[in-house]
Structures are given as C-alpha cells and as structure tokens.
Chains A and B, each alone.
Chain A
Amino acid sequence: MSCCAPGAEAIVEPDTLSQDELRHAARSLGDGIAQIDLSVPAVHCGACIHAVEQGLSKVDGVVSARVNLSTKRVSIRFLEDRSPPLVETLKRLGYPPHLFDDADLGKERTLTELLRALAVSGFAAGNVMLLSVSVWSGAEGSTRDLFHWISALIALPALVFAGGVFYRSAWSALRHGRMNMDVPIAIGVTLAYAMSLYETFHHADQAYFDASVSLLFFLLIGRTLDLVMRDKARSAVLGLARLAPRGAVVIAPDGSREYRPVGEIEPGARLLAAAGERICVDARVIGGTSDLDCSLVNGESWPRRVEPGSLVQAGTLNLTGPLTLEATARAEDSFLAEMLRMMEAAEGGRTRYRRIADRVSSLYAPVVHLTAFLTFLCWMAIDGNWHKAITIAIAVLIITCPCALGLAVPIVQVVAARRLFERGVMVRDGSAMERLAEIDTVVFDKTGTLTVGRPRLANVIDIAPGMLAIAAGLGAHSRHPLSQAIAQAGSGRAGVPDFEAITETPGFGIEGLAGGSVWRLGRAEWALGRDGDPQVSGRSGTILARDGRECAQFQFEDALRPGAMQAVRALQQAGKSVEMLSGDTEKTCRDVAESLGIPRYEAALLPSGKVTRIAEMAQSGHKALMVGDGLNDAPALGAAHVSMAPATAADIGRNAADFVFLHDSLEAVPFVIAISRQAGKLVRQNIGLAIVYNVIAVPIAILGHATPLIAAIAMSGSSLLVIGNALRLLGLQRTNSHDDIVSPATALSVTAEQA
C-alpha cells in the first residue's frame, strides 16, 4: 500500500526513547502487569495495525497490544519484571514510537458527553417530530392532547440533558457580563417548552415541542463535528515526537548511576549526556568534548564545540561525544522555562480578539429580545388579549432562535479544518482561521523554518571527485551534521578505500587509516596537526587531510526548505510584506534573505528582540503571522496575531502555534492563508443568509402567522442552506486542487482579489 511507503508522512525524526523513560511512563495495573500508551504516527492503514499488533504480541513478555488508528496510538500491556524491548521492536517494524503528553486527556470525556447529548436529543427530535406530523395532519381532540403530553414527556429529558450544554455556557457568559450565541438559544428553547406546556394544559391546538428539541439537535450536530475535528488535530500534534527530554542519568556521589525525571534534578547534580541525547537543564560541562546542535534553541545553524568549562543550555542536542555535566539550574529556572514564561507574558494580543460569532451574537441577542418585547407591547395595544400577545411574542423568539446563525461559523470551520487536515496542516483553534484572514505581514524565523536546519555541501564542483569519495567514506562514520552532509553529497561514488581504525575526536573531527596513510576530516588546525597556529585556527569550514597535508576544503550552506522560494513569492504577490527575524549571524541571514528575495531581515536577535519587533508591528497597526520553530521563537509565536510552526519545531513552540504543518514544504503557509480567506468569505455569506432568513421570517411571526409547522420548515430549511453553503468550500477546493499544488500563488492572488 502506497500510504505505508517510508517517508510518506513527515520529516520528524524522533530522538531515541530509552528504556528508562519507558519504564517511568508506564503505569502499573497490578498483578505484575503494566500498561503503556505510545504514539506511533507511522500507522496508516489496516496492514499497519496488523503488523504492529502481530509484531508486538510475538515479543516475550507482552500480554496484549492494541492499535488505535484514529489517534495513531498503540496501548501495550506487558509483564513488569520482563521489560520487553518494545521500542526496538516497533522501530524494527518501521513504526518508531514516542511518548506523548496525556495531560489534557480529560477533554476526551467532553466528546463522549456531547455524543450522549446528541443521541438523546436525536431520539427526542425524531419521536416528537413524528407526533407533531400527526397533529399537523389533523389529529384532534383528546388524541391531539395525548400526543402533546407524550411530546412534553419526551422533550423534558432532552431539554435537561442535551440543553445542559447550552445552559451552562449561557450562564457562564451572563455571569461574566458577556453575551454569546447560547444565551438566545437557551432563552428561546426554554420559553418554547414552557409555553407549549401551558398550551397543552389548556387543550390548545398548537405546541412547539418539536421546535425546541430539533433546534437542540441541529446545534449539537454542529458542535460535535467541531469538537471531533479539533480533537483530531490536537491528538495529531500531541502525537509528534517530544523534543524536550523527560529526565537524565544522574551520577550519585558514590558513583552509581540512576535515571531521574527532570523535575528531580537539583543544581550541582552531576549528569551524563550520551551522544544523540538532548540536554534537559542548564548546565556546565565538567568532562568530555563534543559538538552541540543549538539550532532549536538560539537559531544558530552550525554546531557549537563544547569542552570542560563551557555552559550549555537546556534543549540543545549533544551530537558527537558523551559529556559529563553539572546542573547549574533547576528545570523550572532553565532557559526552556524562561521562554515559557515570556510566552505567557506575550500572549496579550490573542485574548483581545473576539470571534466573529461572539461579535454578531452580542448585537443579535438584544435586537431579537427587543423585537419580541415590542411585539408583545404592540399586540397588547391592539387587542389587549395578553394570552395572544405572549404567544406571538414567544413565536417570534422561537423563529429567530439562531439555529442557522449558531451553525453558520462552526460548520465552515469544520469543513475548512478538514481541507487543511488532508494537506497535513493541523488547526488548533477555530478563531485562528478568522485571525489569519486579517494579516498583512508574514514574519519568518530562519533556521529550521525558511531553511531545513541541516547543512548541505556548497562547493561540490570545486572538490576533486576522488577526494569527495574518500571524505564521504570517512564522514559516514560520524553523526556530526557536517560529516553527514559530506557523506550524503559523495554517496554512491566509486573509489572509497576501506578505512581501518576509525576514531572520532569529539569537537575536532574523524580519523581513519587507509592505504598506509592517516586521513583526517575535521577542523583545520586538528586535521593539519597544527594546534595553536593562529594562521590555521581562524579558518572556517572543514578540511580533508592526508598525513597532515590538505587535500580538500569543504564549505557548507543551510539548505532552504522545499517550497520556501514559492511560498515567499506567493505571499509577496498577495500583497503581504515578508520579514525574517533570526538569532543567527548577520552574514548567513543576508545570504538567505537575498536568495529568497526577502527585503527586510534582522539578525542576531534575542528571543525578547523578536517579541519587541512583533509588538512594534502591532502598535503600528500591522497584524502579523509568525512562522517559527525554535525555542527562541516561542515567545514571538505567542505575541503574534496568529502563529504557525512546522512539525519539527520545539515542543513549546508547537503547543503555542495556532497551526502546525506536518509536511516538509513551506507552501503550506500560502495555502493556509488562501483557505482561511475563503472560509472567512463563506462565514460572512452564511451570516448574511441567516440574517436574510430572519428578515423574511420575523414579519410573519410578528403578524401572528408563525404556526409550529411554519417554524419547523423555516428552521430546518435555513440550517440546511447554511450547511450546504459551507460544503461549497470542499467542492471549490477539490475542483482546482491541481492548481493549488502547482502554484499556490495563483490560488492566493485570486482570493486576494476577491476579498
């Protein structure tokens, strides 16, 4: 199956998950059995389920394994004392697992609650509607009374159970002095029921039980769809590999080693960081040399060499050699936690935004209630029959009950979120799409966002092919990113000698014996064996040397993210101003900005500098979309009007961003903007439709012609109209989806013109 082809999904390469971490995350079920839930994003289809479940159940010590395809998780029960090799098995099967945060697992209960409410109201709506049809088609006398009483009986639990969702929301809004769409819904439904009950008592011929329950049913459908979509996006983001480590191996004073979770590591503790592990707290190196990948922390694209005495920040990745560290701060005082605090402080702009639905309802509810009240006064003045006046006033409330309006916004967002989901973009917040449609500036981070964050050999043509082959053969033995880049560039070339006695000197380079000569690949002063020579030590780049003589020099560049060029051009064509903010050096920033045609950029920025720049934009009236991935971008992501992060981003950045895109290409950015604009247009159309419906229906109700039959037809009709209009987003996009892939520029510029 093509969906299971390797690399079909994202580019995230999870860090290794150790047995220690696994044991900490598992929870004991008693009887010596423990259970662990792991996220396996590579699971795609029935064959994957089968492979994972069969593969795991064959492992000694595993009691059972069950895959959940919707959440892409596997829950495994195993014998505690065996600690079976779960991670290795899953990796061997081709489904690398990782742990996920289950902090907000409670939200899943809300979905169950909504589904239950939906079922009850659906049952009530169906049965009450059947009874109502009998009444409309001519049931009379005691039969009609019987039908009304049964309807009242069925509608009551529905009102309590399904209506509770709306009552709670309306009450909390009113208590805070706000208005939301649930206030008129709650009032309308309750009054409809109360009046119908009064009418039934007095053997009247009209009751609105069907209106009140079918209204609840329709609105709950919209709400459930909305929640299902958001849950799906949320669990997809949660399922991404966690980049922040959960703990480290601590060396006790007596020399024993023990794995401890991050929260228990005190300043002064001695830690061990193996090659390939992330460092979990701010620390000082006290033993070993290595290279650190800081790209996620401060945006520097090249690895930094560390030796005893160097200070390292939490979140950096240890690349080549094992390090012994001394913690200098607790986890909550570390760089990572500081970023988290800055982000919370910066999130002011976000909370000020009021959703379109809320803005509309704050106008709508008073107008509707005032109209109903005036209707009552007018009828009292005309014929003084207070029973008739109240009946008509309540009919006005029922017919204006914002069924279509309540569906107008969520249904469009559900359809749009599904479109984005199919293209690998997760929407974390419904209002994000509304905010995105307003932006005029796009701010990019450089390392890891505009660029891939992995070096690429820049001067392949200057290097003799034979030398490149030798360097590639040597470089393949190191996990240093520069060696990897050389190995990739020279892979598949002939003439690679067999190296013997390969040794890597962390922080300097790699050495091997071949054909009687010593080959060295690494820093100039080390490769040429001339330590402390000022002429040599200042040279940048990597050198291949044979017995201390230079054979080739390698220059690197940070490869641009695929689609970066097209994305920037598409945004500029759509009239957005594009800017780049980076923590990297002036020179590398200039190169990237020039090659992408970005006119404005700022280099060597601290995290606070990025926030300040975004705050300046906000003050001068610009609304910015921030796209970034690093820890240092997280505060800026929080400060921006709307934010977006790639799947490779640091955990807190990913959690702060409104949108997360899983695929490599940066063309997701203009695509999301285009969809958001179209969604915004449809939302406005839908609200327009709902208002037109009211303009037609309200006069009928005011004049006293709104029978329950007319109310039922009008409300269902308007809801279907709104849903149908929202579904147009699906059709619209499908028909020109080929153009999208070739050039999002055209799609975006078209919608920009329409807007």
Chain B
Amino acid sequence: MTVLVYLLPVALFLGFAGLVAFLWALKSGQYDDMDGAGERILIEQEPTNKSEIK
C-alpha cells in the first residue's frame, strides 16, 4: 500500500489542477460567449503583417 503515498497526492493534484484551470477560464471571460467562441474559429484572421505566410 506504499504506492498510495505518492499515487493519492498525484491524483488529487491533477484533479485540483483541472479545477483551477476551469476557475481561471471562468474568470478570464471564456464562458461569456459560448455560442460565439465556436463560430470564431471559422473566421479567417486578417494577416497582421506582410511577412506572415498564408
């Protein structure tokens, strides 16, 4: 059962990291426009400078 000593913290840490990531996304406004986010990936960005290759 010694394997639990590091397995448990690792499992909990991963879960906790997921939670923090979600809370961060929520706070930074990524859940403000759920419909728009999906559509935006289809919008072609105008190249910001000439050196950019299509």
Contacts and interface: CB of A to CB of B under 8 A. Distances in A.
B32 to A, nearest CB: 6
18 contacts: A45-B39, A49-B43, A54-B46, A67-B36, A68-B32, A68-B33, A69-B33, A69-B35, A69-B39, A70-B35, A71-B33, A112-B26, A115-B31, A119-B26, A120-B19, A126-B15, A127-B15, A154-B12
Interface in A131-180: 143, 146, 150, 154
Given A49-B36, A68-B33, 14 more contacts: A45-B39, A49-B40, A49-B43, A69-B35, A69-B36, A70-B32, A70-B33, A70-B34, A112-B26, A115-B31, A119-B26, A123-B16, A143-B1, A143-B4
Interface string B1-40: 1001000100110011011001100100001111110011
A115 B12 CA distance: 21
A119 B43 contact: no
Interface string A22-45: 000000000000000000000001
A370 interface: no
A116 B15 contact: no
Nearest to B26: A115
Contacts of B11: 127, 130
Contact of A116 (B12, B23, B32): B23
Nearest 4 pairs of A and B residues by beta carbon: A46-B39, A69-B36, A69-B35, A123-B19
Nearest to B39: A46
Contacts of B15: 123, 126-127
A354 interface: no
A338 B42 CA distance: 50
Q: How large is the interface on B (under 10, 10 to 19, 20 to 34, 35 or more residues)?
A: 20 to 34
Contact of B22 (A45, A70, A119, A126): A119
Contact of A46 (B32, B40, B46): B40
Contacts of A54: 46
A68 B8 contact: no
A50 interface: yes
A116 B36 contact: no
A682 B11 CA distance: 41
A42 to B, nearest CB: 15
B43 A123 contact: no
B31 to A, nearest CB: 7
B24 to A, nearest CB: 11
Interface of A: 45-46, 49-50, 54, 67-71, 112, 115-116, 119-120, 123, 126-127, 130, 143, 146, 150, 154
Given A68-B32, A70-B35, A119-B19, A50 B26 contact: no
Contacts of B26: 112, 115-116, 119
Contacts of A69: 33, 35-36, 39
A650 B16 CA distance: 50
A46 B33 CA distance: 12
Contacts of A120: 19
Most buried by A among B1, B8, B19: B19
Contacts of B22: 119
A71 B40 CA distance: 15
Contacts of B12: 127, 150, 154
A126 to B, nearest CB: 7
Contacts of B42: 46
A50 B19 contact: no
Of B23, B32, B35, B43, chain A has the most CB atoms within 10 Å of the CB of B35
Contacts of A127: 11-12, 15
B4 to A, nearest CB: 7
Contacts of B32: 68, 70
Nearest to A73: B33
Contacts of B40: 46, 49
B19 A49 contact: no
Contacts of A50: 43
Nearest to A134: B4
A134 B23 CA distance: 28
Contacts of B31: 112, 115
A49 B39 contact: yes
B3 to A, nearest CB: 11
Contacts of B34: 70
Contact of B36 (A68, A112, A126): A68
A593 B12 CA distance: 70
Nearest to B1: A143
Contacts of B16: 123
Contacts of B46: 54
A653 B53 CA distance: 55
B21 to A, nearest CB: 10
A126 B22 CA distance: 15
Nearest to A57: B46
A36 to B, nearest CB: 17
Contacts of A112: 26, 31
Contacts of B35: 69-70
A54 B45 CA distance: 10
A119 B32 CA distance: 16
B36 A70 contact: yes
Nearest to A120: B19
A87 B26 CA distance: 32
Contacts of B8: 150
Nearest to B31: A115
A522 to B, nearest CB: 49
A67 B39 CA distance: 11
A68 B40 CA distance: 11
B23 A119 contact: yes
Contacts of A46: 39-40, 42-43
A45 B1 CA distance: 55
Nearest to A119: B22
A70 B30 CA distance: 12
Contacts of B1: 143
A71 B4 CA distance: 48
Contacts of B18: 123
Nearest to B16: A123
Contacts of A70: 32-36
A120 B16 CA distance: 9
Contacts of A116: 23, 26
A352 B42 CA distance: 50
A126 B19 CA distance: 11
A130 B15 CA distance: 12
A130 B11 CA distance: 10
A50 B43 CA distance: 7
B47 to A, nearest CB: 14
Contacts of A154: 12
A126 B18 CA distance: 12
A225 to B, nearest CB: 13
Contacts of B23: 116, 119
A119 B11 CA distance: 17
Contacts of B19: 119-120, 123
A150 B12 CA distance: 10
A123 B39 CA distance: 29
